[in-house]
Amino acid sequence: MTTVNDISKDTLHQGADSRNTASFVRETVRRGAVFILLAGLIIIFSLAQPAFININNLMSILQAVAVVAIIGAGVTVTLAIGGFDLSAGAVAASSVMASSYAMIVLGLNAYQTVPLVLAFGALVGLANAFLIVKLKVPDLLATLSMMFLLSGLQLIPTAGRSISVGLILPNGSTATGRYDPLFLTIGRSSLFGFIPFPVILLMIVGVILFVLTERTRLGRLLFAVGGNEVATRLAGANTAKIKTFAYVLSGTLAAFGGIIVAARVGRGDVSSGASLLMDSVAASLIGFAVLGLRRPNVLGTITGAVFVGILLNGLTMLNAPYYTQDFVKGFVLVGALALTYGVSRART
């Protein structure tokens, strides 16, 4: 015979099961928000334009986002320490010009140019760190100032001209150098005939940074500085060196991205870095939503870069007006972050 107590227990169990199911659904949506949106985009674009899912187009997307992801990974490291490197796009653009100038004007080869440009990026990162760590300039102001400085500096050696073979220098002479064919292979070669070399470089950078930030003591210290710098310093960590490392790494990766761009286009275009900062920042912020981590992470940044690349490629293939692309990109970014943080808030 069923008693009132039995009915009450059944009701409680059903209520608990319902709450557990709802909690599981919310957690799944929170952790997989970006992947759900990404899968939705792929399905929509594939149905609207079957050529979108072609392997060559997919490799083209990955090649296009490789530079953004590499630069974004550097920005992610600065976000981990509670900072923000706004000069990354300018460093990349200046590195494009520096690479071209080194070979076209100075006549250097690939073995000389690549280390020189990487050292330039590291030096800019060191200058940022000096302003932020030693002079106590707020990170946004320091890196914004560096961005303006580099944006103007890169135009001075050529009087605002793009750099290509046969460049007319400000003194009226003609540059006699050429791009080293070995240098061009960095941006134009491929593995097995269809995997672009920049994608391979992205994979290498991604794995190294993932291990560094997620599996090492240094990575834990990076996040500790971002969480509570004072407590981390009192615990014995050298926070000044950690922050310096983050900005030097960001500058080096931005310069590396600039090298890839220069090797791909084969000229030093004064407008080559116009969108690199915003796209890399967007990738880094979308990365907060990946797996619901709600913190900077390299895997999330790479996923965010691919997300932005698929979105822009799909819109282009659908002949969407260029002036709508930034709006759509921003709308999707807001949606991804709203799903992550909104669902998480509802959960609590």
Q: Residue 14 corresponds to which tokens in the numbers above?
A: 């059903």
Q: DSSP secondary-structure letter at 189?
A: -
Residues 265, 97 contacting (CB under 8 angstroms): no
Tell me the Ramachandran region of residue 303: left when phi exceeds 0, alpha when psi lies from -120 to 50, beta otherwise.
Answer: alpha
Cβ contact 233:88 at 8 Å: no
Distances in whole angstroms, Cα of residue 227 to Cα of each of 83, 132, 298: 11, 17, 17
Q: Give me the CATH number covering residue 197.
A: 1.10.3470
- On whether the CB atoms of residues 88 and 67 are closer than 8 A, the answer is no
* Beta carbons of 117 and 258 less than 8 angstroms apart: yes
Nearest Cα to Cα of residue 200 among 180, 183, 186:
186
List CB contacts of 3: < 8 A, sequence separation 6 or more: none
In a domain, 19, yes or no: no
pLDDT in tens, the chain (348 residues): 555 555 555 555 555 556 667 666 666 666 777 788 888 889 999 999 898 988 889 999 999 899 999 999 999 999 999 999 999 999 999 999 999 999 999 999 999 999 999 999 999 999 999 999 999 999 999 999 999 999 999 989 888 888 988 888 888 888 888 999 999 999 999 988 889 999 999 999 999 999 999 999 999 999 999 999 999 999 999 999 999 999 999 999 999 999 999 999 988 888 777 688 888 988 888 888 776 667 889 999 999 899 889 988 998 888 888 888 778 877 877 776 676 666 555 555
pLDDT for res 292? 66
Instruction: Print burial letters for 267-306: b (CB count within 10 Å at least 16), e (below 16).
Output: bbbbebbeebbebbbbbbbbbbbbbbeeebbbbbbbbbbb
Segments forming the whole domain that contains residue 144 = 2-8+36-347
Q: How far is Cα 240 from Cα 238, in angstroms, rounded to an integer?
A: 6
Q: Looking at the domain assignment, is residue 14 inside a domain?
A: no
Q: Give me the pLDDT at residue 17, please.
A: 57
Secondary structure string (H, E, C) spanning 29-72: HHHHHHHHHHHHHHHHHHHHCHHHHCHHHHHHHHHHHHHHHHHH
* Residue 321 covered by a domain: yes
Q: Is residue 22 part of a domain?
A: no
> Is there a contact between 42 and 49 (Cβ–Cβ < 8 Å)?
no
Q: What is the pTM of this model?
A: 0.89
In a domain, 300, yes or no: yes
**Comparing C-alpha atoms, which of 107, 227, 127, 246 is closest to residue 178?**
107
- Residue 158 covered by a domain: yes
φ and ψ of 62, to 5 deg: -65, -40
How many domains are there within the chain? Answer: 1
Q: Is residue 26 part of a domain?
A: no
In a domain, 23, yes or no: no
